[in-house]
Structure formats: structure tokens, C-alpha cells
């Protein structure tokens, strides 16, 4: 039987004259996710994307798992196609959903008829198919209110389709449809979640990681690359920019008051992230900051760190509590890697009594002891780029 995948578009359906550009980006992302899984035909009609295997070598099981994490899709179903004929639909449902029918105690049929030229109404189709299935599977009761199994029939332009209950998709907007940004990726719990959340809004991301060897180990660096790899299941392939940060931190420790260490360090991070953003055509910087979580995330502190760039700073976690962030981290599969005991550069030279209510003027004065431009240039020039993908 012709087993295929139907994907329902999300917010794209609300777009106006530019809707087609969003659909094209979604189709492109879907095709990329199917690389290496065989030959598939991918096309969109009436706000539904059809993924049809073209030969027996196509891995539909793995394709379905990958497509569950494609932003822009709100629901997806394994389905079988048949002729737009009532008896053909019944035969398709009997064969394709036989296992589900035998395993259920109750069922009902729901029909959507996009092709209004079809001679039966949606209710008539549901009644006819439901009656035939009831005869074929007499041990399964009909329950139109709370069925254990819902048989879905869709009558569309090219064919009729039969499937069981759809699986929720990732939602959001297609990655790349809303521009590009850099995202500060540490080894903690928060930054992978913030990266995921901005990617869900259709942003193509370039992770930036600050690496302070030998104060942080190669294992800490690998941990971040592992996190980035996990995120590519949702974000698509990415290039991680690894910035050497040791010299900057040593200069800060030698020449700046201890209570300002973290603030000066974060201002350097923002400057470097902005440089990398401009170099890659990015329009924003994404951070995992959460208001009041640590001393450097007070309103005053964040104002000081953001003052060094004119790019928008996107903070998707700003109003979440830690439990909410952890819940998302577990759901997207980054939590277990994030809690591995390898420290990142943010824990190096942590002040005993950090300044919580600084002013921009104070930071500007303190940074006069540093060769800010020279240190930024050195770090940007030494950046290492590593391509990551979970599909290889």
C-alpha cells in the first residue's frame, strides 16, 4: 500500500502575499532533513505538504521521526493514498489501519472533503466508511464522543487519504524564514533552550562559544559541540564559532576590579558576537539570560552589557523560571548533556561579590585599562569554525 507522510502547515497559512516564500523555505528544510533516507517527492497543496517515497529503499520510519522536529509543521501523519471512490476508501482503511482497528476498543471516522466536487458530503463519507469498518471489525465499538481510535479520511484534489490520529509537530516558523542571528551557546541548561526557542520563530542561527583553555577543558568544548549537534535536529545544520577567550579573561583579572569581572567579560562577549554577526549577515544576538537568575542578569547589568552593540538582543527566557526552562531542555533532549560536569568560561574568575547595579559610565571608565579593540580583534581572528549536524 502507498505509505506516505502528510504534514500540516502552521502559522504559514495565515500569511498573505508572501505565503509562498514561507512555503518554499519549509519545503527546502524538509528536503534537507530527508537527505540520505532515499528518494522522496515533496510538494505542497492546500496548506498540506506531501512526502511520498518513490522507491522501496526510502526509509519512511526515519523520515517521519526527523520531520517531527521541523519547525513550520504543526501536525504530521503516516497515511495511505487511494482513488476518490467510497469503496476504494473503505478498502484502503481496512487494509492500512487493520492493526490499529484490532487493537482498539472503540473508533469513529472523521472526514474532511477539500474537493467539493466529490459526490458525498463529509458526514456521508464518515457514516459509510464507519459502517463498513464496523462490519469488518465487529469487536470494535463505534463511539463518536470519546473513541480510542479516530480514522481520518481526507478527500483532496489528487486523491483520498486515510490515516490515524496525527502526531503533533514542532510548530513555529520554517528556519531561515525570519532572518539570521548569532546565539551565545555555553555548556549550561539555558542557552540551548534559548537557541531552540528563537529557531522556532524561523531564525537561522550561528552558535558562538567562548573557550578559555586551559581554564576550561577540551571536554567542555566537546560538550558544547555535542549540544549544538543535538540542536540541529530542530535548527538544521550549523557552524559553531569557537572564540579563544583566555587572553581577554586574564587581562580582565589583571587590570579590572574583581566585582566587575563578569560584567566586563560579558561586554567583550557582546562585542565579539556583534563582529561575528556582521561578518555573517546576522541581524540580532540571542542570549539565554533570565531576569534575576544571577548577578549579571539584573536589569542594570543587562543594560551595561547590551550597551556595547546596536544589534537587537533577543532573550526568549527572560521571564521564565528555572523549572520551565528545564522542562523544555528535557523535551528537546539537551538537559542530560547540559548537566555534565564540565565548566564553561563563565565560571572562570567568578567574583566573590559581583556588582549587581552597575552603570554604563562605571564600565566605560574601568575598561580604559584594557586594549579593548586589540583584544576583540585578536579573539575574532582566532575564531575556529566547526560544522555540526545530527544527520550524518
Tens digits of residue pLDDT in 290-311: 988 887 789 999 999 999 999 9
Q: Please report which confidence band the pLDDT of residue 1 belongs to, taking 50, 70 and 90 as the band edges.
A: low
Q: Please report which confidence band the pLDDT of residue 347 belongs to, taking 50, 70 and 90 as the band edges.
A: low
- pTM for the whole structure: 0.92
Place of cell 464507519: 130
Q: Is the pLDDT of residue 352 over 90?
A: no
> How far is residue 166's CA from residue 107's CA, in Å, rounded to a whole number?
15
Place of cell 528544510: 29
CB neighbour class for 155 (10 Å; exposed up to 12, middle 13-18, buried from 19): buried
Q: What is the pLDDT of residue 294?
A: 81
Q: What is the pLDDT of residue 36?
A: 92
DSSP calls for 304-346: HHHTT--S-EE-TTTT--HHHHHHHHHHHT-HHHHTSS---GG
Instruction: Report the relative pairing of strands 40-45 and 149-155 from DSSP bridges.
Output: unpaired
- Cell readout for 225 is 559541540
> How far is residue 96's CA from residue 73's CA, in Å, rounded to a whole number?
24
Strand partners, 81: 161
Q: Are 148 and 106 in contact, with CB atoms under 8 Å apart?
A: yes
Model pLDDT for residues 99-135, shown as the tens digit of each residue: 999 999 999 999 999 999 999 999 999 999 999 999 9
Q: Is the pLDDT of residue 387 over 80?
A: yes
Model pLDDT for residues 189-207, shown as the tens digit of each residue: 999 999 999 999 999 999 9
Q: Is the pLDDT of residue 346 over 70?
A: no
Q: What is the pLDDT of residue 345?
A: 61
Q: What is the pLDDT of residue 2?
A: 74
Q: What is the pLDDT of residue 348?
A: 66
120-140 burial: b if 16+ Cβ within 10 Å, else e: bebeebbebbbebbeeebeeb
For the chain, the distance separating the N- and C-terminal CA atoms, rounded to the nearest angstrom, is 30
Q: Are 233 and 66 in contact, with CB atoms under 8 Å apart?
A: yes
Q: Is the pLDDT of residue 223 over 90?
A: yes
Return the closest-CA partner of residue 136 out of 87, 171, 181, 170: 87
Amino acid at each position: 500500500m502507498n505509505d506516505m507522510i502528510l504534514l500540516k502547515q502552521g502559522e504559514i497559512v495565515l500569511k498573505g502575499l508572501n505565503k509562498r516564500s514561507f512555503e518554499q523555505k519549509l519545503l527546502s528544510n524538509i528536503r534537507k532533513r530527508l537527505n540520505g533516507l532515499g528518494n522522496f517527492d515533496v510538494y505542497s497543496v492546500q496548506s498540506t505538504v506531501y512526502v511520498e517515497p518513490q522507491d522501496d529503499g526510502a526509509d519512511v520510519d526515519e523520515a517521519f521521526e526527523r520531520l517531527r522536529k521541523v519547525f513550520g509543521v504543526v501536525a504530521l501523519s503516516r497515511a495511505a493514498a487511494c482513488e476518490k471512490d467510497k469503496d476504494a476508501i473503505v478498502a484502503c482503511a481496512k487494509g492500512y489501519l487493520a492493526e490499529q482497528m484490532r487493537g482498539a476498543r472503540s473508533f469513529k471516522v472523521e472526514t474532511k472533503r477539500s474537493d467539493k466536487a466529490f459526490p458525498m458530503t463529509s458526514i456521508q463519507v464518515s457514516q459509510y466508511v464507519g459502517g463498513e469498518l464496523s462490519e469488518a471489525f465487529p469487536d470494535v465499538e463505534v463511539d463518536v464522543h470519546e473513541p480510542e481510535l479516530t480514522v481520518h479520511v481526507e478527500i483532496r484534489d489528487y486523491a483520498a487519504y486515510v490515516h490515524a490520529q496525527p502526531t503533533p509537530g514542532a510548530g513555529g516558523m520554517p528556519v531561515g524564514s525570519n532572518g539570521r542571528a548569532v546565539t551565545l551557546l555555553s555548556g549550561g541548561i539555558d542557552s540551548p533552550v534559548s537557541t531552540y526557542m528563537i529557531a522556532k520563530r524561523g531564525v537561522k542561527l550561528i552558535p558562538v562559544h567562548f573557550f578559555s583553555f586551559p581554564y576550561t577543558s577540551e571536554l567542555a568544548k566537546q560538550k558544547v559541540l555535542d549540544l549544538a549537534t543535538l540542536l540541529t535536529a530542530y535548527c538544521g545544520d550549523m557552524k559553531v564559532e569557537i572564540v579563544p577567550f583566555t587572553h581577554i579573561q586574564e587581562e580582565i583579572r589583571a587590570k579590572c576590579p574583581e566585582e566587575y569581572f563578569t560584567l566586563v567579560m560579558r561586554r567583550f562577549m557582546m562585542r565579539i558576537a556583534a563582529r561575528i554577526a556582521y561578518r555573517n549577515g546576522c541581524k540580532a544576538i540571542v542570549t539565554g539570560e533570565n531576569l534575576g537568575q544571577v548577578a549579571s542578569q539584573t536589569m542594570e547589568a543587562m543594560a551595561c552589557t547590551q550597551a556595547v552593540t546596536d544589534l537587537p538582543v533577543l532573550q526568549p527566557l527572560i521571564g521564565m523560571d528555572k523549572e520551565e526552562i528545564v522542562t523544555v531542555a528535557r523535551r528537546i533532549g539537551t538537559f542530560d548533556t547540559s548537566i555534565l560536569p564540565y565548566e564553561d568560561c563563565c565560571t572562570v574568575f567568578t567574583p566573590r561579590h559581583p556588582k549587581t547595579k552597575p552603570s554604563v559610565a562605571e564600565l566605560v571608565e574601568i575598561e580604559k585599562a584594557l586594549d579593548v579593540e586589540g583584544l576583540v580583534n585578536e579573539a575574532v581572528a582566532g575564531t575556529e569554525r566547526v560544522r555540526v549536524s545530527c544527520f550524518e
